[in-house]
Structure 1
Amino acid sequence: MNGQEVHIPLDSIEEGLFLEIKSKGSNFVSKVKDAEQNGEASYQIKEGCFYHYQFSSPLYFFETHEIVEENPFHSNYGRLAPNTYVGTLEIPVKKKEIDDPVGKVRIEVQSKKTSYREDYRFMLESITEYCIDLLMQVNSPVTQNFEPDFSKGSETLYQKFTFIKSVIDTDEFNETVHRIITSPNTVWSKSSEEVDIRKIGRFKNHHVRQLLSGTQRSKLPANSPLSGKRISSLPTKLKSHLKVETVDTAENRFIKHALSNYLKLCTDIEAAVKPDTRIYKEVKKTIEQLEQHLHHTFFNEISRAQILKINSPILQKKEGYREVLKTWLMFDLAAKLIWEGGDDVYKGGKKDVATLYEYWLFFTLLDLLKDMFEIYPEDLEDLIKPTEDELSLQLVQGKRKAIRGVYQNGIRKLKMKFNFNRTFSGNQDHPNTGSWTKKMRPDYTLSIWPYNITEEKAEKEELIVHVHFDAKYKIDKLVEIIDKTNPDEETNVKITGSYKDVDLLKMHAYKDAIRRTAGAYVLYPGTDEPLERKGFRELLPGLGAFPVRPSKTNNGTADLKDFLIRVIEHFLNRASQRENLAYRIFDIHKNDPDEVKEPLPEAYGKNRSYIPDTINVLVGFYKDNNHLEWIRNKKYYNIRIDDRAGAIPLTAAELSANYLLLHTSKDKNSGKLFKIKGDGPKVFSKERMAKEEYPKESSYLIFEIDEVAASEFQGVKWDFRKLSKFKTGRGAGIPFSVTLTELMKVIVKEN
């Protein structure tokens, strides 16, 4: 029943009293028929919407709190703003001049997603299965010694029950029990019954033996053939053995034992909680379902189990039986499991499916990573820790949890760390890890770096890469992320609980603010194709979104897994542009920055690579004016390459020089700057040097040069003696190289 308004009768508080709720805009307020069956309040509103309310009497009112806004002029009026809350609201009703509440109103806040009931159940069941799998991998005896304690608070009980319910209160479990009842395991057994001797067609050995020993005998006539055998009478009835098919087998006794255990535990919980609470109603429904199974005539023939044959081939292999065995093992451990993070999901009547989605995705991502990396077993074991008398799942929203792993093949060996809710601290200067602006905490962070170094060293040397994922349950379609252009959207999120393009902007924030981040992606339960946006030409850096749905089939994880595989393949490419860029960042920022504020040619077009730090200038010596004239005429500059004095060490900086600055003896500064042409120097033999009219018979390294055309260098002189590599005395003639940045620091300033 959907409409614009509902009247909630409150006769239990005062006869004739009611609460009227009206929707604002096109949002519906409704009374749901099957609400009680699902442990919900009958009267329901939607999350992220606004509703007006009014008590029929001015004496009654709600006090203002985070969801209720009381009208300042009329206390019995007000507004309901559930924001992102999902679950049962129990709002205390107050009456004027009475301090304590006189009653309460139960209202259910529905998720905007129509599938939230199924999603909630599926994700809780999946988390339970993940936990059980983890528990069964841990070879610790403490996991088998705990007994469920129902004397604790109702919140802990509800937490336990949600785990238990996710195991046994499912359609699959009910179908399994039905399958066993309709096609049970049976055995043949012998039974005896007394049969009239005249009805026995063929005598067997045990019948013959009874001819003499049987009771209730009848006398034989004198002419009977048996009289000669000294048999004067025969029993009127003989015991006859029959083979009977029975369901009273050890395996069926186990099924009955398991269902009876489930029922007992649920009735214990029912007795420990208050009536008219959500847990009471939900456990009542589960009890009814279990009683319906056990009241079937099938179980009337089955006796009480004396011993549990868990290793029975029937229990382990036969369809139906193996499923019950699995649920029994899960149930036994689920009853001992507590989860502090569960308070975020269902404490106080909440049914926070969005937060549950975040927890569920952690295990889903972990499952994918386990297929690709060798996960450290101790990190998996650390997910569930024994407390004094229980087992505690160590996964809590806002608290970091890290799982480490290793990837190795014949190409490269890598370390991995998968973080849940890792906080990257703010205001961190390079090269420290963290955010260079505000503190940030993505839901999940996948970090990868080379195997042979620590995570700290990888951060400082730009060798680590972070890829972030954020869970957004409320998104249905990508259009909700990328088709909005309103920059004020983020302001409205807190009010409406509606997540739109802000989510993708948040991914930009992660990528741009958290150091060493190469990717940030939204995970949401939609049906679209994945969205991938490359920052440049490669997979990383990038942004995007992947649909991952709480479903047993077609859940979207195949696309996400393919992406993670491609991320690993990207790391195997040692010539990747991302790795090249990471090195450049490390190399550029490892030293304090230089400063050049002198006129230089602009870096654009063909001149785009004109970066002073990467341009080398060869500072060379000429002997006299004749040598200088030869250099200018031939447009060659020669330096000796033999082992005699004056030969230059052939380093990459000298060989890749872009400019030549010439000086001679007694020069205090020089403005003789030339442009070096070509792809590098050439070697001229002494014969070639003779042809070039050079007076010395020797081999030389020749740089082709030309006059500098850039106006920024016209009339400029440099005090080359102030350069750190310049040597006085006989070493003054040895050429050396400096960067253009270094050279521009020794410009001679005019007075």
Structure 2
Amino acid sequence: MEVMKYNDIVDGTVVETCTGYIIVFDDTEKARKAREQHPSLFTCRDGEWIGIFNAGNSVGTVVFMGKQLTVRCKSKLTESEFDCMVTDIVEKMALLPFDFNTNSVVTVESTDIQSSEILYHAFLVVRYWLKQPELRLMGAIEAIKRDPLRKESLAVRTQDVWQLSKVSTTILTSLITNIGTAVRLPEYHKLQQTGLGRHLLDAKNDMMFPVKVQDTVILRTLDTTENRFVRYVLEMCQEVLYRFIKALNSKGNVLNKQQLIGEANEMIQQLEQQLHSEFIQEIGVMSALPFQSIALQRRSGYKEVLDLYRALIGAFYQPLDNRSLHQAIEQKDIAKLYEVWTYFKTLQAIEDEFALKPKQAWVTQTDPFRHTLGNGISTVYELDGKPLIVAYNRSFSGNKQIQSYSLPYRPDIVIEFCGDLYVFDAKFKLRFLSSVMEDAEQYEIEDLGVKDAFTFKKEDIHKMHAYKDGIQSVRLACILYPGTNSDELCFYEQGDARTGVGAIPLRPNSSLVDFKDFLRRILRIKS
């Protein structure tokens, strides 16, 4: 275990994930403060000036006692791949046909955003729409500004008679009825010789001439229900960020608090610029959502803002595992995020390979045996006229009637098709190959044919056997792991190519070709 003096640590010092470091302080007081301020990073005993630092599965920049350390995940996943997984999750979540993802949306009160569980998912949604390279929200607002919806209405306006360019029925009526705006013309005034002047005589036979008349004009304004909706969504995003910062400040054990707060403040400034723009200033406060607006659903810019709103509504229903989401954001726990990400990549692989779109999606309840886990998701497709269900965190209790004849199980991903189950479990913690070479015979390195610098653990394969043998109707069980160099999947057949256990490399920004081919083979769908 490497020993580091605290005074020698500088900004940018590189440490590895899941690696312990002995940190030596000058005195016991500093060590005590480090333990109290960073309990997830540093541990030490009372009265000692040394302790153990371990960033766990976190990646990227972490702040430790005022110094910024770079946590590197050697040969596994980088911080950019972490951001890629967040993007994939949020983007796919917004496209799933949950009940809230329809045109019949409802307003969201500010009290709905107070729950920290909702805040974490909503923060990811806002971050995705504001931090993407193509700046999706800002691009949508600019498209709206270039071609905004305007409302036209008729209004009666009083104006000077010499400003008239044409005569309307409203003007003629005004000339007859609004005598009070007429002035007496002096004798021999040129206006007396006009046709209008000769006909406008009062009781004393004095010639009167109208100075002002009333006319009907068309008023054009940006204050439409659709534009009010745009303002409402911008304000809702801003409130999410303000409440997220407040929630972070109330917590002490947040690994990358300053980085998150900095990102949130940067996004708030972007929103402030739009909310104070001349375009938004002309728009009033929304009183009702424009449910049936065709423009909101189809017009460039407006439809993107509607998509963002739907994604935020989805965040308020919080379909993801709350605890995993907290860990992924607060601690940048890449292992937790990888577990959720593999589910959405499985959906993508199915949709791409079989040219499908989800028919329905719903949130399942927590496992009664493990209440600390959050909700799961089930997505339904139709393949060859039959339902294909992909479930995340599906529970199988120790009851024969609920498909497990022994212990309760909760695999990460379960595909159900034609009465058969196909189980996949995400495994981020890998074993370095050199550490198992002395155990090669037991580990069956040659049989696996693994070319990666990292490979999965034999215990993971053992667990796949437990899933396959313990849950009824399971044909195969495979782990999904972030292999670095290998494009080959490993599968142990049990009689045929659709039955057995194995391991499949799945990594952000990598090809899904092998995974899609595997899914087609096990589901017996011909090309």
TM-score bucket of the superposed structures, by smaller chain: 0.5 to 0.7
Which residue of structure 1 lines up, in the alignment, with residue 120 of structure 2?
A: 159
Q: 1:139 to 1:267 in 2, by over 3 A?
A: closer
What is the rounded CA distance, in whole Å, between the counterparts of 1:184 and 1:20 in structure 2? 58
Superposition deviation, residue 219 in structure 1: 0.5
What is the rounded CA distance, in whole Å, between the counterparts of 2:41 and 2:63 in structure 1? 11
Equivalent residue letter for 2:193: S
What is the rounded CA distance, in whole Å, between the counterparts of 2:245 and 2:157 in structure 1? 47
Which residue of structure 1 lines up, in the alignment, with residue 333 of structure 2?
A: 352
- Whether the aligned pair in 1 keeps the contact of 2:491 and 2:500 (CA below 8 Å) is yes
- Whether the aligned pair in 2 keeps the contact of 1:128 and 1:334 (CA below 8 Å) is no
Greater relative contact order structure (CA < 8 Å, 6+ sep):
2
Q: Deviations over 1:155-193 (max 9, x none)?
A: 546535435535654432232223223332224445666
Q: Deviations over 1:475-525 (max 9, x none)?
A: 8xxxx988997246999xxxxxxx955417456545667547656353437
Which residue of structure 2 lines up, in the alignment, with residue 186 of structure 1?
A: 150
Mapped pair 1:486 → 2:426: no
Q: 1:424 to 1:512 in 2, by over 3 A?
A: farther
What is the rounded CA distance, in whole Å, between the counterparts of 2:392 and 2:14 in structure 1? 37
- The percent identity for this pair of structures is 17
Which residue of structure 1 lines up, in the alignment, with residue 199 of structure 2?
A: 229
What is the rounded CA distance, in whole Å, between the counterparts of 1:289 and 1:204 in structure 2? 48
Mapped pair 1:119 → 2:92: no
> Gaps (5+ residues) in structure 1?
8-18, 23-28, 32-42, 92-103, 386-391, 396-400, 426-431, 452-463, 492-498, 573-751
What is the rounded CA distance, in whole Å, between the counterparts of 1:234 and 1:138 in structure 2? 62
Q: Deviations over 1:661-718 (max 9, x none)?
A: xxxxxxxxxxxxxxxxxxxxxxxxxxxxxxxxxxxxxxxxxxxxxxxxxxxxxxxxxx
Q: 1:332 to 1:446 in 2, by over 3 A?
A: closer
- Whether the aligned pair in 2 keeps the contact of 1:21 and 1:51 (CA below 8 Å) is no
Mapped pair 1:110 → 2:65: no
SS at match of 2:57: coil
Which residue of structure 2 lines up, in the alignment, with residue 55 of structure 1?
A: 25
- Whether the aligned pair in 1 keeps the contact of 2:493 and 2:501 (CA below 8 Å) is yes
Which residue of structure 2 lines up, in the alignment, with residue 326 of structure 1?
A: 307
CA RMSD of aligned residues (A): 5.3
Superposition deviation, residue 321 in structure 1: 0.7
Paired residues for 1:51-450 under 5 Å: 51=21, 53-57=23-27, 59-62=29-32, 67-68=41-42, 75-86=48-59, 110=71, 112=73, 113-126=78-91, 128-129=93-94, 133-136=97-100, 148-149=111-112, 156=117, 158-159=119-120, 161-162=122-123, 165-166=126-127, 169-170=130-131, 171-190=135-154, 195-212=159-176, 213=178, 215-219=181-185, 221-222=187-188, 224-226=193-195, 228-231=198-201, 232-268=207-243, 270=245, 274=249, 278=257, 283-337=264-318, 339-343=320-324, 345-346=326-327, 349-366=330-347, 381-383=362-364, 394-395=375-376, 420=393, 443-444=412-413, 446=415
Which residue of structure 2 lines up, in the alignment, with residue 591 of structure 1?
A: none
Q: 1:80 to 1:241 in 2, by over 3 A?
A: same
Q: Deviations over 1:536-559 (max 9, x none)?
A: 9964457765554556xxx64454
Which residue of structure 1 lines up, in the alignment, with residue 456 of structure 2?
A: 503
Q: Deviations over 1:393-418 (max 9, x none)?
A: 513xxxxx888999767xxx999886
Paired residues for 1:729-740 under 5 Å: none
- Whether the aligned pair in 1 keeps the contact of 2:320 and 2:375 (CA below 8 Å) is yes
Superposition deviation, residue 377 in structure 1: 9.4
Q: 1:323 to 1:550 in 2, by over 3 A?
A: farther
> Gaps (5+ residues) in structure 2?
202-206, 367-372, 399-403, 444-451
What is the rounded CA distance, in whole Å, between the counterparts of 1:66 and 1:263 in structure 2? 30
- Whether the aligned pair in 2 keeps the contact of 1:147 and 1:336 (CA below 8 Å) is no
- Whether the aligned pair in 2 keeps the contact of 1:55 and 1:76 (CA below 8 Å) is yes
Q: Aligned match of 1:520 in 469, 473, 478?
A: 478
Give TM-score, length-normalised by structure 1: 0.50
Aligned residues: 471
- Whether the aligned pair in 2 keeps the contact of 1:88 and 1:349 (CA below 8 Å) is no
- Whether the aligned pair in 1 keeps the contact of 2:123 and 2:240 (CA below 8 Å) is no
Equivalent residue letter for 2:148: P
Q: 1:48 to 1:109 in 2, by over 3 A?
A: farther
Mapped pair 1:562 → 2:513: no
What is the rounded CA distance, in whole Å, between the counterparts of 2:388 and 2:294 in structure 1? 42
Q: 1:193 to 1:423 in 2, by over 3 A?
A: closer
What is the rounded CA distance, in whole Å, between the counterparts of 1:120 and 1:522 in structure 2? 15
- Whether the aligned pair in 1 keeps the contact of 2:94 and 2:311 (CA below 8 Å) is yes
Superposition deviation, residue 284 in structure 1: 3.9
Mark the structure with the bigger radius of gyration.
1
Q: Deviations over 1:196-243 (max 9, x none)?
A: 534544444434444443515250644624464354121234445544
Equivalent residue letter for 1:217: V
Superposition deviation, residue 318 in structure 1: 0.5
- Whether the aligned pair in 2 keeps the contact of 1:220 and 1:234 (CA below 8 Å) is no
Q: 1:402 to 1:203 in 2, by over 3 A?
A: closer
Q: 1:216 to 1:21 in 2, by over 3 A?
A: farther
Equivalent residue letter for 1:76: W
What is the rounded CA distance, in whole Å, between the counterparts of 1:546 and 1:384 in structure 2? 28
SS at match of 1:53: strand
SS at match of 1:20: helix
What is the rounded CA distance, in whole Å, between the counterparts of 1:408 and 1:347 in structure 2? 37
Q: 1:201 to 1:147 in 2, by over 3 A?
A: closer
Q: 1:504 to 1:312 in 2, by over 3 A?
A: same
